[in-house]
Structure 1
Amino acid sequence: MDFTLSEEQGLIIDTARKVGAAFGPDYWREKDATKSYPSECWQAICDAGLAGANLPEEHGGGGLGMVETALIIEELCAAGAGATLGQIFMLNPIFGGVAISKYGSERMKREWLPKLCSGEMSFCMALTEPGAGTNSLELETTARKDGNGWRVNGQKIWITGVPQAHKMLVVARTTPVKDAPKKTHGISLFMIDVEREGLTHTSIDKLGTNTLPSSQVFFDDVRVDGDELIGTEDEGWTQLLDVLNTERIVTTAALVGAGRLAIRLAVDFAKERTVFRKTPIGAYQAIQFPLAQGWAELEAARLLNLKAASLFDNGLAFGSESNAAKLIASQAASRVAEQAMQTMGGMGYSKEMHVERLWRDARLFRFAPISEEMILNYIATANLGLPRSY
């Protein structure tokens, strides 16, 4: 097993580091304060050829894999963005890119993927519902047949990046549960315009990740054409899992980068801050040990995440690794951000020092895009062979 990065991967990391450095913590603090979408940063990422690293070369991508995508996200997030930048990768190379490149029509691939890679098009995904939450099989949004297409009705919640998106990956039930041979049958995926009659959305005020809006989305008899189906009608569940499990890889990479940034800010502070006998506080083990523990946990999550990404790139099962990596990373990044605040004392509570933003943003990923409890449920049943309780 070789952990050495190739020359190409090293160059990619260097490129991501340089792009990230151009949009450091001060940029993200301003975007957070004004709740502004980081369009300049995303365009720079696209211009550097990083947005479509995992997408096919013939459609404007880099022809690489999820390993390279994870490495890119780590560096960008560690440079100043924190965990929230990973969400833009979820929206575009994952919700848009993975869904289209694996299951979209040739027209979708030809027309949309190059625009995704260049930054001309943005995407979002409408999955979560108020009544279903994590249990996506209980979704109530329906798509009923209407000529050569469908009519979609229902409601979604906590949908990220809707106002900026051109296309929305919609998950809906095309066959009622009562008529399906099993619960996983009867779900379909559609890629539709966000600006469409009957589709409306309202914003949700929230604690963190303020650079990306979250919305409730309402579908009132929204017309979907036949050629907007992604994959196979009624068999969208297994296709959706490919999207969701790669989402875990992106999330973990962002959390690892955010944790690295929090540790760096805490270490820089601890080297300069002196108390009592003019000793830097970084010399005290009470400061050192929690940060060192966080580094170890983040490194473990990183390696497990890269394993998951490598398995995906080689067409092997990767769900256990991607979920476990996300579990460790979300806990570690939250603890490290809080420890960085503690290291700085009162100054850590100020917006000037950046870590309060990292703490607010990282907290989301303890329960999104999947909660710790559901990951543990998955590991208990899939890896330990224990009976299901739900």
Structure 2
Amino acid sequence: MDFRLTEEQEMIVETARRVGERFGLDYWRKQDAEKAFPAEAWKAICDAGLGGAALPEEHGGGGLGMLEMALIIEQLAAAGAGSTVGQLFMINPIFGGVSISRFGNEEMKAALLPKIISGEINCCMALTEPDAGSNTLEIKTFAREDGNGWRINGRKIWITGVEAADVMLVIARSKKVDEVKRRTDGLTMFLIDTKREGVSFAPIEKLGTNTLSSCSVFFDDVRVEQEDVIGTLHGGWPELLDILNTERIVTTAGLTGTVDLALKIAVDYANDRKIFGGRPIGSYQGIQFPLAQAHAENECARLMNYKAASLFDSGLPFGSQANTAKLIAAQACAAATERAMQTLGGMGYARESHLERLWRDCRLFRFAPVSEEMTLNFIAMHDLGMPKSY
């Protein structure tokens, strides 16, 4: 097992680092304060070939893999963006790019992938519902047959990036639960434009990740056609899982990069700040131990994420690794940002230290895109062979 990066991967890391440094801490603080989509940064990321690194070459992508994407996101997060940069890759190369490249028809690929890769259009995915949450199989949004197409009715919640999106991946029931043999049957994915008649949305006020809106989305007799179906009609569940598990990989990469950034801010301050006889506070074990613990946990999460990405790139099962990595990374990031703030004392609470934004943003990922509790359920059932607990 070789943990060394290839020369090409080293070049990708360096490119991502340089792009990230162009949009450092001050840029992201401004976008957060204005609750503004980071359009300039995302365009620069795409212009550098980073947004489409893992998408097919024939449509303008880099033809690389999820491992390279994880490396890119880590660098961008560590340069100043923090964990929310993973969401930019989540909505575009994952919800848009992976779903279309793996499950879309040829017309869909030709029309949309080049624009996603170039940053010309943005994407989002409408999955979560008020009464379903993590229990996707209980979603109520329904696609009713109507001639040669369907009419979608329902409501989604906590949908990321709708306001900036041009296309939306919608997951709906196309057959009622009592019409199928298994609850996993009867789900279909549709790809529609966000301006389609009958689609509306309302922003949700929230604590952090302010550069990407979160919205409730409403579908009122929205017309969809045969060409809007992506993947298998009535059989979208296993295809959706591939999308959701790659979502875990980009989320984790954003978190591990954020830990690197938070620890750098804390260590730089601790090594420079001198009190009680002129010794730097970084020499005290009360400061060192929590930061070292977060670093150790982060390194474990990073390696597990690389394993998940490598397995995906090899066409092998990767769900357990992706979920484990995300669990540990979210916990390490929560600890790192909290302890980094504590290291700076009162200044850690000030906006100018940037830590409060990193802390606010990463808090989301202890329950999204899947909660710690549901992740532990998954590990217990799938990795340990324990009975279902819910």
Deviation at 1:247, TM superposition (A): 0.2
Deviations 1:100-126 (A, max 9, x none): 000000011111001001010110000
Task: In structure 2, give the amino acid aligned to 1:351.
Answer: R
Deviation at 1:207, TM superposition (A): 0.2
Task: In structure 1, give the amino acid aligned to 2:119.
Answer: G
Residue 124 of structure 1: aligned partner: 124
C-alpha distance in 2 between matches for 1:123 and 1:162 = 8
Instruction: Tell me how large the CA RMSD over aligned residues is.
Output: 0.5
Structure 1 unmatched ranges of 5 or more:
none
C-alpha distance in 1 between matches for 2:23 and 2:80 = 7
SS for the counterpart of 1:365 is helix
SS for the counterpart of 1:189 is strand
SS for the counterpart of 1:255 is helix
Residue 267 of structure 1: aligned partner: 267
C-alpha distance in 1 between matches for 2:88 and 2:178 = 37
Residue 115 of structure 1: aligned partner: 115
Deviations 1:128-150 (A, max 9, x none): 00000000000000001112211
C-alpha distance in 2 between matches for 1:147 and 1:274 = 75
C-alpha distance in 1 between matches for 2:128 and 2:24 = 32
| Identity of matched residues, % | 64
Structure 2 unmatched ranges of 5 or more:
none
Which region of structure 1 is more displaced relative to structure 2, 272-281 or 87-96? 272-281
SS for the counterpart of 1:221 is strand
Deviation at 1:369, TM superposition (A): 0.1
C-alpha distance in 2 between matches for 1:327 and 1:208 = 19
Task: In structure 2, give the amino acid aligned to 1:162.
Answer: V
Deviation at 1:302, TM superposition (A): 0.3
Residue 145 of structure 1: aligned partner: 145
Task: In structure 1, give the amino acid aligned to 2:256.
Answer: V
Residue 210 of structure 1: aligned partner: 210
TM-score by length of 2: 1.00
SS for the counterpart of 2:162 is coil
C-alpha distance in 1 between matches for 2:218 and 2:67 = 36
C-alpha distance in 1 between matches for 2:176 and 2:295 = 48
Task: In structure 2, give the amino acid aligned to 1:121.
Answer: I
| TM superposition outliers: structure 1 runs of 4+ over 3 Å | none
Deviation at 1:277, TM superposition (A): 0.6
Task: In structure 1, give the amino acid aligned to 2:208.
Answer: G
Task: In structure 2, give the amino acid aligned to 1:50.
Answer: L
Residue 2 of structure 2: aligned partner: 2
SS for the counterpart of 1:121 is coil
Task: In structure 1, give the amino acid aligned to 2:232.
Answer: T
Deviation at 1:289, TM superposition (A): 1.0
Alignment of 1:285-304 (within 5 A): 285-304=285-304
Deviation at 1:278, TM superposition (A): 1.3
Residue 80 of structure 1: aligned partner: 80
TM-score by length of 1: 1.00
SS for the counterpart of 1:163 is helix
C-alpha distance in 2 between matches for 1:40 and 1:349 = 28
**Corresponding pairs, count:** 390
SS for the counterpart of 1:212 is coil
C-alpha distance in 2 between matches for 1:46 and 1:289 = 39
Deviation at 1:43, TM superposition (A): 0.3
C-alpha distance in 2 between matches for 1:285 and 1:59 = 53
C-alpha distance in 2 between matches for 1:116 and 1:329 = 28
